[in-house]
Structure 1
Amino acid sequence: MKTFFGNRFGSNSGKIVAMDRFDSGRSLSPIRQVEAYWTALLTGDGVPKRAQIDPRGLENILEYTFILERIAPGLARFRLAGSHLNNLAGMEVRGMPLTAFFEPSARGQVSDVLEQVFARPAVAELGLASSGRLGRTQLQARMILLPLKSDLGDISRVLGVMISDGVIGATPRRFTIPDSMVRTVSDVQLPQQPKQQISTGFAEKQEEFKRPGSHLRLVASRDD
């Protein structure tokens, strides 16, 4: 069954878009999986902590997964990024700002979305498009941004997934945002079952991210 969301902000307000599948029919299961995982960690105290995110719970989608760190209002950089994001950029993206994946015309919108994710806090889902020019084919992608608390308790981290549909071709690929949806965390339904206790977190210092087969890589900067 298809799920439809209305655009909640920007110039495309009121547009209804199908967000469960790409045009080719490829499933958005990594988006839905990370959303369900994050939602299961919600409590009455608000958004989960970054340290609660256990890579074992996302093992089959690590190549699409990333962690962002807020470094200024409306600006965040990659602390961890899966191999799919590196392939889209044509380079290692850790340490780069999220806006590096977007056309200059879309970067203001990205900043606005990020600020809503951190400040409200909110969950954002973006429909992305990369035009077919300069030897590139048209490319669709989707991204979800889920707020997290740092170890200090401030909402300054994001758990996200980005997945594209189509031939990547020449890189770097940069995107516009044809459709988008933002929901406040208070609007997200809390799980009915008690959440599972998790003993280890998704900390950048953990050695398991260096094990063979892992798609995520460490970021050199220190997570305060």
Structure 2
Amino acid sequence: MTMTMIHTLRSHWDSLRTNGELPLRSDIDPRQISDVLDSLFIFERLNPQDVRVRIAGLNLCEMMGMEVRGQSPMAFFDESTRRRFAGVVGDVLNRATVAYLGLDTLDKMGNEARAKMILLPLRSDFGDVNRVIGCVTGPDEGFTAPMQFHVRTIDMETPNSPEQNVQSFGFAEQGAGFIMDGTSSFRAISGGGSVRVKRPTQAASYLKLVD
């Protein structure tokens, strides 16, 4: 399921590109990515120094133990890799690149676990590249909120280049990102108990892509 979600979102994003242009935020069709919505997010760059979570699926909120809309995505990561992640987001927005991240985290038993994330640039209706759409996967065996991710690998891709095999996650040096605002880590809600994600049996979505 991990790679299926990433492939689904990437395929939808690719299908919306016309003459090499990046997709518009308004082009995203939730019906085409219904299996991804619970783990989907959209970041918005409000200014060069400030990027915020605009939309977040249910699974991401459960991972963090709280509603994350309006928060800085830096708080998803441990302090040692926040600057590195900021550089990746900066590259996605400034250079219109696609990023695949291999992440380390902990499962609900406290054991090391792996996760993956994809970041894709979007244009606003005015044509400027100021949004990032992506999804993130968590440990299959459940997790304890709030989670924090550690960036293990980064693979940057230029969209106009031949599609890479996303099964392998390499490493690319980060570019100049946005300035971090010093946001602290999220705190768990309701005591931060162990959370096991259960996917709905119906196609109903917990996420509506509206501004």
- Give TM-score, length-normalised by structure 2: 0.74
Aligned partners of 1:79 and 1:94 also within 8 Å: yes
Aligned partners of 2:96 and 2:121 also within 8 Å: yes
Q: Aligned with 1:30: secondary structure?
A: helix
State the match for 2:121 in structure 1. 147
**Separation of aligned partners in 2, 1:127 and 1:66:** 17
Q: Deviations over 1:22-54 (max 9, x none)?
A: xxxx54100011001101111225100000001
State the match for 1:213 in structure 2. 204
Task: Provide the alpha-carbon RMSD of the alignment.
Answer: 2.3
Which stretch of the first structure deviates more once superposed, 163-172 or 153-162? 163-172
Aligned partners of 1:39 and 1:188 also within 8 Å: no
| % identical equivalent positions | 36
What code does the residue aligned with 1:163 have? Answer: T
Specify whether residues 27 and 168 from structure 1 end up closer, same or farther in structure 2 by C-alpha distance, changes over 3 A only.
Answer: closer
Specify whether residues 42 and 74 from structure 1 end up closer, same or farther in structure 2 by C-alpha distance, changes over 3 A only.
Answer: farther
State the match for 2:190 in structure 1. none
Quote how far apart the aligned CAs of 1:166 are.
3.3
Quote how far apart the aligned CAs of 1:152 are.
1.3
What are the ranges of 5 or more consecutive residues in structure 1 without an aligned counterpart?
1-25, 190-211
What code does the residue aligned with 1:119 have? Answer: N
Aligned residue among 52, 65, 69 for 2:40: 65
* Structure 1 position 94 matched with structure 2 position 69: yes
Specify whether residues 188 and 74 from structure 1 end up closer, same or farther in structure 2 by C-alpha distance, changes over 3 A only.
Answer: farther
What aligned pairs does 1:22-101 form with structure 2 within 5 A after superposition?
A: 27-73=2-48, 75-101=50-76
Aligned partners of 1:75 and 1:98 also within 8 Å: no
Specify whether residues 214 and 124 from structure 1 end up closer, same or farther in structure 2 by C-alpha distance, changes over 3 A only.
Answer: same
Q: Deviations over 1:71-95 (max 9, x none)?
A: 2437521111111101110111111
**Separation of aligned partners in 2, 1:74 and 1:178:** 25
What code does the residue aligned with 1:117 have? Answer: V
What aligned pairs does 1:66-215 form with structure 2 within 5 A after superposition?
A: 66-73=41-48, 75-131=50-106, 136-187=110-161, 213-215=204-206
**Separation of aligned partners in 2, 1:132 and 1:57:** 30
Q: Hey, which bits of structure 1, 4+ residues long, moved more than 2 A?
A: 71-76, 135-139, 165-170
**Separation of aligned partners in 1, 2:101 and 2:82:** 13
Aligned partners of 2:104 and 2:149 also within 8 Å: yes
How many matched pairs? Answer: 172
Q: Aligned with 2:80: secondary structure?
A: helix
Q: Deviations over 1:115-167 (max 9, x none)?
A: 1101111000101111479x633232110000000111100011111111233
- Give TM-score, length-normalised by structure 1: 0.70
State the match for 2:194 in structure 1. none
Q: Aligned with 2:18: secondary structure?
A: coil
